[in-house]
Amino acid sequence: MGNKVVHFEVIGKDGKKLQEFFSGLFGWKIDANNPMSYGMVDPGETGIGGGIAADMQGGSGHVTFYVEVADLQATLTKAESLGGKTIMPPMPVPGGPEIAMFADPEGHVVGLTKAGSMG
């Protein structure tokens, strides 16, 4: 069995508007009651949790999925050997998981989470 997708992000210019859009469209419960207004999407019983927020760097936004792996650095090294590029080395998110990011050979950014660190 392959590694599973465990989280997604929708980041854009207006985080609150995106939160309202996806909540209204899909009936998602989104909790943005935190200092960064990062909207945590409640996955319910069978879904994948995610986050919806404003782009803190002022960019146009992106959609990313996160895959759970046992070893972040080993996965980044393997991605590079297959033509990918490390975008963000392993780092802990304050109060959250340990994550990393890479770009595939066409530049699509994919996130990684260390197994067991999502909480």
> Where in the sequence of the chain do the CATH 3.10.180.10 domains occur?
1-59, 70-119
CB contact at 8 A, 18 and 30: no
Question: Count of CB atoms within 10 A of residue 14's CB?
Answer: 13
Classify domain 70-119 by CATH number: 3.10.180.10
| 1-32 confidence digits (pLDDT tens) | 789 999 999 999 999 999 999 999 988 999 99
Is the CATH number 3.10.180.10 carried by domain 1-59?
yes
> pTM above the 0.85 mark?
no
| 66-113 confidence digits (pLDDT tens) | 999 999 999 999 999 999 999 999 999 988 899 999 999 988 899 999
